[in-house]
């Protein structure tokens, strides 16, 4: 079932925040976007589990690329998981550019995330990513 316009806009804003925080290397703020028991799978050989472990993701990416990577999500498609409308499955492409090389294309991924309603916002409970390039 497609999501409401309000939820779509809220999720789009949420994913924009996700990209800005990971690119800035802010592990504390980025991990706060996740549930305590969240799972981040597909980027590392083994899934990363839990908010505390997730703090290392933006810090490591920022350090490895000297803060030059930029994530861009596109083609966002959202559906409610069930009739409660408190869980959304969102699918999108995640394009990554590298600004050491003048904005050169670095990679793209097919991402599927599960978001749970948290008051007026959302939290990620799971992210599954398949690197395409």
What pLDDT sits at residue 4?
Answer: 98
Helix, coil or strand: residue 61: helix
Instruction: Set out the domains of the chain in order of their start, with CATH numbers.
Output: 5-131 (3.10.450.50)
Q: Which residues contact 119 (CB under 8 A, 6 or more apart)?
A: none
Residues 99-115: tens digit of each pLDDT: 886 778 888 999 999 99
Q: Is the pLDDT of residue 133 over 80?
A: no
Q: Which of 75, 126, 74 is nearest to 96 (CA)?
A: 74
For residues 112 and 87, is the Cβ–Cβ distance under 8 A? no
Q: Is the pLDDT of residue 71 over 90?
A: yes
Q: How many whole angstroms separate alpha carbon 20 and alpha carbon 97?
A: 13
Q: How many whole angstroms separate alpha carbon 17 and alpha carbon 11?
A: 10
Q: How many whole angstroms separate alpha carbon 8 and alpha carbon 24?
A: 24
How many other CB atoms sit within 10 Å of the CB of residue 81? 14
CA distance to 69, 110, 111, per residue, from 132 (Å): 17, 7, 10
Query: Once rounded to an integer, what is the mean pLDDT over residues 65-92?
Result: 95
Q: Is the pLDDT of residue 1 over 90?
A: no
Q: pLDDT tier at 81 (50, 70, 90 boundaries)?
A: very high
Q: Is the pLDDT of residue 94 over 80?
A: yes
Provide the percentage of residues in the chain whose pLDDT is more than 90. 86
What pLDDT sits at residue 64?
Answer: 86
Provide the percentage of residues in the chain whose pLDDT is more than 70. 99
Helix, coil or strand: residue 67: coil
């Amino acid at each position: 079932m497609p999501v409401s316009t309000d939820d779509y806009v809220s999720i789009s804003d949420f994913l924009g925040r996700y990209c800005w925080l990971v690119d800035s290397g802010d592990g504390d703020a980025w991990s706060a976007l996740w549930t305590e028991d969240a799972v981040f799978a597909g980027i590392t050989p083994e899934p990363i589990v839990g908010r505390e472990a997730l703090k290392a993701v933006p810090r490591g990416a920022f350090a490895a690329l000297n803060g030059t990577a930029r994530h861009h999500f596109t083609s966002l498609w959202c559906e409610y998981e069930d009739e409660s409308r408190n869980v959304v499955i969102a699918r999108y492409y995640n394009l990554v550019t590298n600004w050491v090389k003048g904005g050169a294309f670095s990679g793209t991924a097919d991402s599927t995330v599960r978001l749970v309603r948290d008051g007026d916002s959302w939290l990620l409970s799971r992210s599954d990513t398949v690197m395409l390039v």
